[in-house]
Amino acid sequence: METVAVLDSGGQYCHLIARKVRELGAYAQIFPIGTPAGELAENSGIILSGGPSSVFDESSPQPDPELFEIGRPMLGICYGHQLIAGHLGGLVERGHTHEFGSANLSVRLDGGLFDGMDRDQQVWMSHGDHVAQLPHGFQVLGATSDCDVAAMGHPARGIYGLQFHPEVVHTPNGSEILRNFLVNACGCGLDWNPRGRVEDLIRQITSAVAGRRVLFFLSGGVDSTVAYALTVRALGTERVEGVYVDTGFMRDGETAEIEESFRVLDLGRLQVCDASGRFMSNLRDIVDPESKRAAIGQAFVDVQDEILAGEQYGGHDWMLGQGTIYPDTIESGGTQAADVIKTHHNRVERIQKLIEEGRVLEPLSEFYKDEVRELGRALGLSSALLERHPFPGPGLAIRCLCSGERADPIVDDGIAAIAREGGYRAFLLPIRSVGVQGDSRSYAQLTVLHSGDFAYERLLPLSTAITNEFRSTNRIVAALAPRAIAPTEWEIKPATLTHDRVRLLQQVDRAVTEYLRAEGLYDEIWQCPVVLLPLSRTGGEAVALRPVNSVDGMTAAVSTLPTAGLFELADRLHAIEGIDAVLFDVSNKPPSTIEWE
C-alpha cells in the first residue's frame, strides 16, 4: 500500500492535510516532525505541515536533518515551506506584512504542482515569516503581491514548498495541487478506499475493550452516535450501554427527538439522565469561556462518576466511550506542538486522567466529520441522522456569551477608515471571541459593521481586510436589524448564564432552524450556530447568526443565505421580546473559529 507521511509541526491543519491526502486516494499517516529519517524512508512522499512556531524560535519544531538525504519527494506547507528553505541553504526572514486570508497567486512555472492549472489562483495565506532567498537549484513557481516566494520547487529532486495552505477549502484548487504532488512527484496510484476501515475499527475496539463493557454518554450528534453504533457492532448490545445526559443546554425539543431517533436505530437501551439543575448550578456565575468549558467538562465527569458508581456499574470493568474526532484533539492542543485554540469538554483534566488509565475508548479519534459520516453510511445509519447539523457537546452554554461588567462600544479609527472605504461604519465591542490566526489561538474583540444595506460582495472582502491588518479583532459581524446602529446608544451589559437567557436562545435557535428547513436551506449549509450576546439598547440582548459551509470543521466559509429571506428572518427575530439586535457573522475560519467560545 502506498503511504504518505505527514510530519506534524503543530499546525491546526496537520490532520486536515492527511485527510485531504486520504480523500484523494493515498493513505496518509501522521508522524512527529522530529521522527528519524530512517523510519520515513519507505513512504512514497513526505509532507511537512504548517505550525504556530517561527523558524527563528530557539524551541521551534525541527525535522531530522537526514530527512533531506533520503531521496523521498517532499512538500512543505507554510512553516514546512520555510523549514525546507532553511535546511537546504535558503534564507527565511521575519515578515513586515502578515498575510491572514485570501490572496491571489500568480503562477510563474508549473513545476509539476500546477500542471494543467490556470496562471492565476486564489489561495489561503496564514503566515508572518517568509522565504527571502531560494535554496540552490530551486525555482520560484508562484508569487503573491505580498510574498515573492509563495511557491518554490526543485522538480529534479521532487521537493516543493508552498507558503499558502492547499489543504483548506479557501484554496479552491488546493486538492488539485496536492493531487499533482501525489501523482507527478510521488507516483501514487490513488487507489486507497477509506470505507475499508470499518472492519479494522471493529478489530481495534474488540482488542482495546478486551473483556470489559463500554458506557457511552451520548449527545445525539453524529460523532457520538456513529461511535456508539460502531462499538455495538463490535461488542453487541449486551456489552454497550448509552446514557443521554440532558444538560438543560440542548436545543428546543431536542431530548424528545433524540429518544425517538435511538428507539428507531434499535441499538440497545438509551438511559436519559436529567442533569440540567447540576449544570446550571455549576455555571451560573462563570463568565470566562475557558472556565465555562472546564466547568461543563467537570459536570459531565461528575455525572458520569455518579452513574458509574451505581450498583450496575460497580467495579472497574467498564470503559468510557466517547465520540471524539480529530478536530477536538487538535484544537485542544492534542498534538506535540499544537497551540490550544479552545479546550473541549472531552479533554478536561479528569478525562485526561481516565485516558492515561486506559479507561477511555475513542474509536473515531483519527477521523474527521466527513469520514465519520462515511463510516455511518457503511454501518447503515440513516441520512437524516448523518446529515444532522453538528452541535457542540457543551450545547447552548457556549453560544450564550457572558460579561462580568458594563462596557461601552469602542470606535477604532483605523478599522473605521477601512470600513468607510467599503461603504460601512464600524465599531468594536469589548467582548471577546476565540479565533485561530497563524496556527495560534487568538482571543480578540468583535467588530460590528453597519449601514443601510447588507452586501456580501463588499462585506466578505472587508471582513478579511480588517482581520488581516488588525490583531485586536478576529471576528466581524454585520447588522441586519437594525441595519444602522448608533454606538452611543448601545452597551455591553453584565450577564451570566440563566434559565431565561437559555430559553430566549432556544426560542431564536428554533426560529432559525424552522426558517432554514422551510426555505430548503438546511441541507445546503453545514451548520448555523445562533449566538446570544449581551449587547443591549433597551435592556435586551443581541443575537448573531453564524451559517457556515465546511467539510470537517477545521476550516469554514461563510454561507451566503439569500438576502431577501434573511432580512425577513431578521425582522421576525428582532420582534421577539428581549432581542434588541440581529447580527450576521461574516468571518471565515480562520481567522474566526466556528463557535464563538
The residues, ordered by sequence, that sit 6+ positions from 82 with a Cβ below 8 Å of its Cβ are 55, 76, 92, 129, 130, 131, 161, 163
Quick check: 272 pLDDT over 70? yes
Q: Are residues 388 and 427 in the same domain?
A: no
Split at pLDDT 50, 70, 90, the class of 539 is very high
Q: Are residues 514 and 577 in the same domain?
A: yes
Q: Are residues 322 and 292 in the same domain?
A: yes
Helix runs in 253-312, H state only: 254-265, 276-283, 289-308
Q: Are residues 325 and 452 in the same domain?
A: no
Give the chain's mean pLDDT: 89
Q: Are residues 210 and 172 in the same domain?
A: no
Does residue 398 belong to any structural domain of this protein? no
Q: Are residues 133 and 38 in the same domain?
A: yes
Report the CATH number that the domain containing residue 368 is assigned in CATH. Answer: 3.40.50.620
Helix runs in 338-412, H state only: 349-356, 369-378, 383-386
**pTM score above 0.85:** no
Does residue 594 belong to any structural domain of this protein? no
Kindly state the cell numbers that stand for 49: 505541515
Report the CATH number that the domain containing residue 16 is assigned in CATH. Answer: 3.40.50.880
Q: Are residues 378 and 340 in the same domain?
A: yes
Split at pLDDT 50, 70, 90, the class of 514 is very high
Average pLDDT on 390-398 reads 87
* Position with higher pLDDT, 96 vs 392: 392
User: Which of 393, 426, 457 finishes a domain?
Assistant: 393
Quick check: 510 pLDDT over 90? yes
- Nearest Cα neighbor of 427 from 495, 494, 488, 493 is 488
pLDDT tens digits along 458-488:
999 999 999 988 889 999 999 999 998 999 9
Preceding amide of 494 cis, omega within 30: no
Q: Are residues 295 and 241 in the same domain?
A: yes
- Nearest Cα neighbor of 28 from 11, 14, 9 is 14
What pLDDT score was predicted for residue 317? Answer: 84
Query: Of 143-147, 207-211, 558-562, where does mean pLDDT reach its minimum?
Result: 143-147
- Nearest Cα neighbor of 504 from 292, 247, 252 is 252
Report the CATH number that the domain containing residue 550 is assigned in CATH. Answer: 3.30.300.10
Does residue 528 belong to any structural domain of this protein? yes
User: Which of 185, 214, 229 finishes a domain?
Assistant: 185
What pLDDT score was predicted for residue 451? Answer: 92
Split at pLDDT 50, 70, 90, the class of 318 is confident
Average pLDDT on 305-310 reads 79
User: Which of 163, 185, 207 finishes a domain?
Assistant: 185
Does residue 297 belong to any structural domain of this protein? yes
Does residue 407 belong to any structural domain of this protein? no
Q: Are residues 443 and 501 in the same domain?
A: yes
Q: Are residues 570 and 429 in the same domain?
A: yes
The residues, ordered by sequence, that sit 6+ positions from 397 with a Cβ below 8 Å of its Cβ are 247, 249, 279, 283, 292, 296, 497, 502
Contact by Cβ (8 Å): 303, 245: yes
Q: Are residues 253 and 340 in the same domain?
A: yes
Does residue 380 belong to any structural domain of this protein? yes
Query: Which amino acids are annotated catalytic?
Result: 78, 165, 167
Does residue 517 belong to any structural domain of this protein? yes
Domain assignment of residue 533, given as a range: 413-585
Does residue 403 belong to any structural domain of this protein? no
Number of domains in the chain: 3
Quick check: 348 pLDDT over 90? no
What's the residue count for the chain?
597
DSSP state at residue 400: B
Strand partners, 491: 536
Average pLDDT on 14-19 reads 85
Quick check: 337 pLDDT over 60? no
pLDDT tens digits along 116-130:
999 999 998 877 788
What pLDDT score was predicted for residue 233? Answer: 94
* Position with higher pLDDT, 190 vs 367: 190
Quick check: 229 pLDDT over 90? yes
Strand partners, 75: 47, 160
Q: Are residues 363 and 474 in the same domain?
A: no
Split at pLDDT 50, 70, 90, the class of 425 is very high
